Amino acid sequence: MKNTKIRSLIIFIILLVTAYFFLPLVVNNLPTFWTSKRLKLGLDLQGGSQIQLEVDFKELELTEKEKEDAVKTALQIIRNRIDQFGVAEPSLQRVGTTNRIVIQLPGLNEPGRAKDLIGKTALLEFKLLADSDQIRETYDILDSYLDKNINKYDFLQKFADVDREEVLDVLETEEETEEGEEIGNKIFTKITTSEDEFPMTIDYENIAPFKALLKDPEFKAQIPAGLQIAIGKEDKHDRFAARPVFILLERAEITGKYLDKASVKIGQGYDPKTSGKPYILLTFDKKGAKQFANITGQNINKRLAIVLDDIVYVAPVIRDKIPNGEAQITGNFTVEETNDLVIVLNAGNLPAPVNIIEERTVGPTLGSDSIRAGIMAALIGMITVILFMIIYYGLSGLIADLAVGVNICFIIAVMTMLEGTLTMPGIAGMILTIGMAVDANVIIFERVRENIIEGKTIRTAVDTGFSRALVTILDANITTLITAIVLYQFGTGPIKGFAVTLSIGIIGSMFASIVLVKAIFDGFITNINRNKLSI
């Protein structure tokens, strides 16, 4: 009696969970407590984005083995980033033995965000800002260089030949110049606009020529030794806004090498600048925490820039020593933006630059006709099995058909619960499962028939039939399940989709055939004195 109650409780829980995730797919306007998850379709059924990457070894001196390892490492890091990005059942494949990787992202019709996420190198550095004298010296040197070499930079011609009055406006007062000093064009100063004492921001229309200038080797050689020029991050809310310009000490005080974990947090308190807004919390390992404490303790009241891939995200003033090894990246971030940064930081650095050589948005590769054909095949297969079981096994066959229906609902519910993606190979796995779902019941029913022919009572015939068939059923299904697991482990893309639905179907089939059907027999047949059994 106790075992029967436990079995009934297990059946009730499984059917309840199945209904919870399956019903929203076929019934509209369910109560609000029902799940909002829906079954997703794969790239072959609904389209999505496809990106082809190439690992670039041109500027790296690597052996063939190191190149091979770099491609494998890049593949794994990109896979980690995509998995955290939240795309259901992406496909990542290396093209043969080349250094190219093809990525398929089902349902993602705007690949821009994923493209940015995939290609980032995630070089995290903490650098101190230069002092005022170093900043002034840098601007003087760069202004002088550009004045003398303006003919080398066609894209800067519009900043040349400004009159004295305009330059004096930029410098605020004429007294700032020394007597007899030739003001010149002050091109570098002209590119940037004045903020506080030094020109430290750049207008949107000047960003493109400014970036081109920073890439020029001759210009970079003029920057005083030990210093670096970096631009601030783009404001996602206003991409046309001016961006800050920073003069940094080139040497990093600490790097992402010592980063233990990055996580997204929401600001607390009453400060409107931070309250309720997302930020990134960086936690260093033991060695990094000690190093970070020394840096902050020795540089109080100085600004420490947090630099990611040569972009300054924030440059706060160090107010106190930070002994706990935690730092915050704050700013005008969206939740989406902070999540993307955390993914890149936690996934690690790419071993070599990755170039995107092709990107495209694709439609359903099989088309609506193939989708309808697949669904029709599943329905025809199910109807054929249902009719065969009813004709051949009577009422017992109808019970087995009920188990088939429960199994199909179970597969869809589990895939919805796990936020999986249904592909055409997945539909093939479901069709195969329909046939396998009744296989166990056929074995059981034949054993029961044999027992009835031998003259056993209905109750004894059913109990013995189930117990005798159990070993055979488990053996066949477990063998198939192992095969499905191997397919999933070593297969890629469509093969994995097939393996997933097949594995779920096998588990559901064993539950429906062994547990559910036996419970129905016990409840409606063997617990009532019967002399005949429709089987």
Token pair of 420 as six digits? 């999986």
pLDDT in tens, 428-448: 888 787 777 788 888 899 998
Pairing of strands 421-422, 100-106: unpaired
* Confidence bin at 336 (pLDDT 50/70/90): confident
Give the largest Cα separation in the chain, rounded: 123
Q: Say if residue 197's pLDDT is above 60.
A: no
CA 40 to chain centroid: 15
Please answer whether residues 255 and 134 qualify as being in contact, where contact means their C-beta atoms are separated by less than 8 angstroms: no
pLDDT in tens, 466-518: 888 888 888 888 888 999 888 888 776 678 778 888 899 899 888 888 889 88
Please answer whether residues 166 and 207 qualify as being in contact, where contact means their C-beta atoms are separated by less than 8 angstroms: no
* Confidence bin at 86 (pLDDT 50/70/90): low
For residue 171, the model assigns a pLDDT of 46
What does R_g of the chain's alpha carbons equal in angstroms? Answer: 34
For residue 295, the model assigns a pLDDT of 92
Q: Say if residue 163's pLDDT is above 70.
A: no
pLDDT in tens, 273-302: 667 888 888 888 889 899 989 999 999 989
pLDDT in tens, 2-22: 677 888 889 999 999 999 888
Residue 377 and residue 374: Cα distance in Å, rounded? 5
Q: Catalogue all structural domains in the chain, each as residue range(s) with its CATH number.
A: 2-24+365-526 (1.20.1640.10), 48-120+358-362 (3.30.70.3400), 124-333 (no CATH)
Q: Say if residue 108's pLDDT is above 90.
A: no
Please answer whether residues 356 and 116 qualify as being in contact, where contact means their C-beta atoms are separated by less than 8 angstroms: no
State the average pLDDT over residues 50-79.
Answer: 81
Please answer whether residues 295 and 284 qualify as being in contact, where contact means their C-beta atoms are separated by less than 8 angstroms: no
Residue 114 and residue 140: Cα distance in Å, rounded? 41
State the average pLDDT over residues 221-233.
Answer: 91
Residue 454 and residue 115: Cα distance in Å, rounded? 69
- Higher-confidence residue of 116 and 57: namely 57
Lowest mean pLDDT among 110-119, 236-245, 472-481, 495-504: 110-119
* Confidence bin at 89 (pLDDT 50/70/90): low
Lowest mean pLDDT among 64-68, 182-186, 238-242, 321-325: 182-186
The region that residue 364 occupies, defined by phi over 0 for left and psi between -120 and 50 for alpha, beta otherwise, is: beta
* Confidence bin at 178 (pLDDT 50/70/90): very low
For residue 249, the model assigns a pLDDT of 94
Dihedral angle computed from the Cα positions of residues 363, 369, 371 and 375, in that order, rounded to the nearest 10 degrees: 170
* Confidence bin at 265 (pLDDT 50/70/90): confident
* Confidence bin at 167 (pLDDT 50/70/90): very low
* Confidence bin at 87 (pLDDT 50/70/90): low
User: Which residue type, as a one-letter code, is found at position 453?
Assistant: I
Q: Say if residue 195's pLDDT is above 60.
A: no
State the average pLDDT over residues 402-408.
Answer: 88
Please answer whether residues 183 and 165 qualify as being in contact, where contact means their C-beta atoms are separated by less than 8 angstroms: no
State the average pLDDT over residues 370-375.
Answer: 72
Sheet containing strand 192-195, strands side by side: 192-195, 198-202, 243-249, 227-232, 311-314, 304-308, 124-128, 254-255
| 8 contact partners, CB below 8 Å, separation of at least 6 | 519
Q: Say if residue 327's pLDDT is above 90.
A: no
For residue 134, the model assigns a pLDDT of 92
Q: Say if residue 194's pLDDT is above 80.
A: no
Mean pLDDT of the chain: 80
Exposed, middle or buried: residue 520 (CB in 10 Å: 0-12, 13-18, 19+)?
Answer: middle
Exposed, middle or buried: residue 255 (CB in 10 Å: 0-12, 13-18, 19+)?
Answer: middle
Q: Say if residue 179's pLDDT is above 60.
A: no
For residue 222, the model assigns a pLDDT of 93
Tell me the DSSP string of 180-207. T------HHHHHEEEETTEEEEE-GGGH
Q: In residues, how long is the chain?
A: 535
For residue 204, the model assigns a pLDDT of 84
Residue 119 and residue 116: Cα distance in Å, rounded? 6
Residue 213 and residue 202: Cα distance in Å, rounded? 13
